Amino acid sequence: MSLNVFLISESASLREALVQIEANHHGIVLTMNAKGRTTGLATDGDIRRKLLDGASLDDLISSCANPSFVWADSSTPRELLLKQLDNRIQVIPLLDQTGKLAGIVSRDYLPAQREGPIYARARSPVRISFGGGGSDLTHFFAGEGGAVINTTISLYSHATLRKRSDARIRIHSRDLGTSLEAEDLQGVLGLKGDFGLIQALLKTVHPDFGFELYLHSDFPMNSGLGGSAVVSATVLGCFNQFRQDRWDSHEVAELAFQAERLYLGVAGGWQDQYATVFGGFNFMEFRMDQNIVHPLRIPTDVQLELEESLVLCDTGTPHDSGDIHEDQRNHMQQEGIRQKVQSNVELTYRMRNHLLRGRLLQFGQSLHEAWQFKRQFSSKISSSRLDQIYEEACANGAVGGKLLGAGGGGFFLFYVTPFRKHQLIAKLESLGLKVRPFRFEQEGLRAWSSREGKNQPHPENS
């Protein structure tokens, strides 16, 4: 729509104004001064009344233009425009900061808001695994079925992603305490450093645009909480927001596995990726033909009681899960170790049943049994210090517990009876361990997008 058909000089005649009104088909004309500033509005009705009062067609349009006309600018809420048009106004001129005509809205023409730049955000929770660890490794369940039971808790990894108008890529990680920058994707993939996981994810996603990515987590690295899978999920969740054909939950988990296990080459199982993406209490079965995630419907009071009966503490010792899994893979060739893993799988089915029926004491005792199995899978899973922590915990109220993740360090999880929880926490803290409060998280990966204009006033590449 040409705006010129709405404009006329203040010194134009009524006759010329009627010609403009006939041309724009909106029943109005806007007067402007010598500098192009809009000074008034006249309708065909205004001109007709002026003529009936005895005016001549050669009189100036400024004689009947209303200088106090209703107008709007680009910041006027759409709701207000709709209400004005629905009330009595037919046409509303849009003026810029200098008072010049920038647009026209009417009952017949009120276009939808143009698409502006958006940014994507995602967060995903860590998991605590109760039993079955080791059976989610492909080299185990390729011959026998695997099964694990886990849940997600209220510690998250967070990601924010925004597109750039050029191919440049910037990645900022608060966890690593450093940043990465390159001219394009190939430049990022060719760099050496601490961003191996992110580079593997970018190789998997292969974005065709430049971007800025910001990452931070609520938990320390190498904690045994499945953190690398959680970071992967948040990054994939952000990129998924820019896809028309979005990946489903299974596909996101599989892409995370692909990046970490195949491209990055870190040994490990499958449960971490599924746990963080799906969220909540899940019983997972692993077979070569299909992995199945079974959500567990645990009564609310049972969940609350279990939440209050678990103590999570940081040993302060980081671990290398890939190195432990490689060692475990070698040990898995021994028939005795494979039998222990299989026994752990059978225990996992019993633990599932205990949870579903609310038999929490038996569940806590099963944690002890699961730890006794797990610590035999590899000599790197436990240590004299970790064994001492476990023994002290059991002597101070813990019914059972286990080291989370591959082992070697990270977080211990203990089940404690109601009236000895304070005693257990005091003992763990006296050993220099940090007890970490948490709640169960029923949701898995959450990703969403927001308009930059609403939340960031001046989005500019720099």
Active site residues: 272
- CA 143 – CA 134 distance, rounded (Å): 13
Please, what is the angle between helix 249-257 and helix 271-278, to 10°? 150
* The 411-416 sheet, strands edge to edge: 398-403, 411-416, 310-314, 434-435
The residues pairing with 111 across neighbouring beta strands, listed in sequence order, are none
- CA 415 – CA 383 distance, rounded (Å): 21
Inter-residue contact 307 to 440 (CB < 8 Å): yes
Q: For residue 162, how many C-alpha atoms fall within 13 Å in the half-sphere facing its CB?
A: 20
Q: CA geometry: angle at 137 spanning 131 and 143, to 5°?
A: 105
Alpha carbon 321 to its chain centroid, in Å, reads 25
For residue 321, give every residue at least 6 positions away whose Cβ sits within 8 Å of its Cβ, in sequence order, or none: 222, 224, 228, 266, 267, 268, 405, 406, 408
- CA 38 – CA 273 distance, rounded (Å): 61
Backbone φ and ψ for 344, nearest 5 degrees, come out as -65, -35
Give which of 117, 125, 119 is closest to 234, Cα–Cα. 125
Both structure tokens of 111: 């276009």
- CA 21 – CA 30 distance, rounded (Å): 10
- In the chain, the largest separation of any two C-alpha atoms, in whole Å, equals 111
- CA 462 – CA 43 distance, rounded (Å): 48
Inter-residue contact 182 to 168 (CB < 8 Å): yes
Both structure tokens of 7: 């404009």
Please, what is the angle between helix 227-240 and helix 271-278, to 10°? 50
